[in-house]
Chain A
Amino acid sequence: MNTVFRALSDPTRRHVLELLRHGPMTAGELAEQFDVSKPTMSAHFSVLREAGLVVSERRGKSVVYELQLSVLEEALLGFTKALGLGLGGRRAAARRPRRREALGR
């Protein structure tokens, strides 16, 4: 359970989980949404995988991620979101323009 709390404590990782609610995405598609380096994103994916919140599958050259939340984990995610835990990190993430927005897409 510690790994789950650790994974949910970070706003970037919570944002990744929110994005995956719309369906499976490749690592590249997910990374596009954040203005952080690839190794940092890989570390985030690794934490989420270790906590069992996402599953990944290699397809050709890309890795596809899919959400794998239990009901309790989903409730925890909603709870942390509602309480705005890790708000400092979220504000920092909001200051960083998303690559898509920066490109005017």
Chain B
Amino acid sequence: MKPRPRFCGPAGQAVISFLQLVAIIVVLELARRLGFVDLAFTQRAKGIAVGLMLVVVGNLLPKMRPFGAWGGDPATAAAAERLAGWVLVVTGLAYAALFLLAPVEQARSLSPILGLGGLALIAMDWAWLARSPRPAPGTEAGTRVRPGTEGRKVAFGLLFSIAYLLATTSLKYLSEGRSWAGLLATWSLPVFLLAYSVFLAAMDFHRDRT
């Protein structure tokens, strides 16, 4: 039997789940504008959907091996990936619980700190891994390069998308929905895409150099 390409595996599952949750958020917003549901319900449901998004991506994150390109000890990279996955899952559960149980205004004010804090922890985890010592090429650990990491770019794409979503939501909340915030949120999308491309290029450059 022909092996399935890796994108159909964890990376594909994560992208499909992410898009399903985005679709739920869009439908909720549409339903509110058409007058089917009230604002408080929409805000609550959207918050829960974003929390679930973090849980789904975090759950599959270690399988996508985002730190696979790092040329060091495979066990260290795998441990860092597992930690990143756990951080995102716990953050997502807390995020969803906040919108489920707390008053909406309180949930809206605390959720950006929670979500962006989780992503900051993952960034610190990655930075720690990037700076940790690598095994010498001749040693046993140095010869054990990890197998293919096709899901890596998808994993970082999803993380950047979540960061964009959380950043723009926070901006709109902090500006109390003023029009300039909406405009800024729209125009920050190309900046995030550019940052993602530069990030991937830097990772490839780093990998090729080592």
Instruction: A19 to B26: give the CA distance in the assembly, Å.
Output: 45
Query: Do A71 and B74 form a contact, CB below 8 Å, given A23-B144, A24-B144, A52-B9?
Result: no
- The CA-CA distance from A71 to B84 in the complex, in Å, is 10
Partner pick for B147 among A52, A66, A72, A74, CB 8 A cutoff: A66
Given known A-B contacts A24-B144, A57-B148, A71 and B89 have beta carbons under 8 A apart = yes
- CB of B86 closer than 8 Å to a CB of A: yes
Task: Check B59–A72 contact: CB distance below 8 A.
Answer: yes
Q: A53-83 interface mask toward B, CB cutoff 8 Å, 1 = contact, 0 = none?
A: 0011100000010111111101000000000
Q: Is the interface of B mostly helix, strand, loop or mixed?
A: helix
> Would you call A100 an interface residue if the criterion is a C-beta within 8 Å of the partner chain's C-beta atoms?
no
Contact B59 A66 (CB under 8 A): no
Interface residues on B, range: 20 to 34
Task: Report the number of A-B residue pairs with Cβ-Cβ less than 8 Å.
Answer: 51
User: Given the interface contacts A23-B141, A24-B144, A55-B147, does A68 sit within 8 Å of B63 by beta carbon?
Assistant: yes
Q: Across the interface, which residues of A come within 8 angstroms of B74, CB to CB?
A: 23-24, 66
In the complex, which range does the number of interface residues on chain A fall in? 10 to 19
Q: Which one, B61, B75, B86, B89, contacts A21 given CB within 8 A?
A: B75
B75 CB contacts on chain A under 8 angstroms: 21-23
Residue of B nearest to A52 (CB): B9
Would A70 and B59 count as touching, CB distance under 8 A? yes
Q: Is the CB of B147 within 8 A of A64?
A: yes
- A contact residues around B147 at 8 Å (CB): 24, 55-57, 64, 66
Answer yes or no: B62 CB below 8 A from chain A CBs: yes
Cα-based distance from A22 to B74 in the complex (angstroms):
9
- Please tell me if B60 contacts chain A, counting CB pairs below 8 Å: yes
Question: Would A70 and B63 count as touching, CB distance under 8 A?
Answer: yes
Q: List A residues at the B interface (Cβ < 8 Å).
A: 21-24, 52, 55-57, 64, 66-72, 74
Interface on B for A, CB 8 Å cutoff? 9-10, 58-63, 65, 73-75, 78, 82, 85-86, 89, 141, 144, 146-148
